[in-house]
Amino acid sequence: MLLLDAGCQAVDQLSIAVEKAFLAHPDAQILLSFPGVGTQLGARLLAEIGDDRNRFSDARALKAYAGSAPITRASGKKKFVGRRFVKNDRLSTAGYMWALSALTGSPGARAHYQRRRAAGDWHAAAQRNLFNRFLGQLHHCLNTGTHFDEATAFTPRAADLAA
């Protein structure tokens, strides 16, 4: 029991240290402006993406690195669009948690997820698509220094406005 208590205390101390270090980072407030991102998840995202703005030339490179961008294999008459197997697994896992937690905190994210499900995507594919969209927005926000804006990120579609 003493070992378990010591382990729990060590985890708590590490969690506090990660939170302090993350909140001191200049990009922390941008990451925290996104729905579903808290201090621990934001720290994981920042650790995996890094703060070098030249690391990813564009949002497509970041999405491919994270494994959220689909890969297309085509030859002749056949075409297959599927998920990436070569990716940063830690960032991919963080993205899955991000998309899952954003579903409850963001009406736009929920609507986007529901549209993907209605289009025939499985749960994981719809979440990966949402994570892919968030990564593009994150890349833009980090490069421009702006905070996430729900109205800009998830503008109402023409079909939604007509209904």
Determine, yes or no, domain membership for 116.
yes
Determine, yes or no, domain membership for 136.
yes
**pTM for this predicted structure:** 0.89
Q: State pLDDT tens for residues 78-134.
A: 887 888 788 899 999 999 999 999 999 999 999 999 999 999 999 999 999 999 999
Say how many domains are in the chain: 1
The domain in which residue 87 lies consists of 26-155
Q: State pLDDT tens for residues 17-37.
A: 999 999 999 999 999 999 999
Backbone angles phi, psi at 57, to 5 degrees: -65, -35
91 and 66 Cβ atoms separated by less than 8 Å: yes
Determine, yes or no, domain membership for 31.
yes
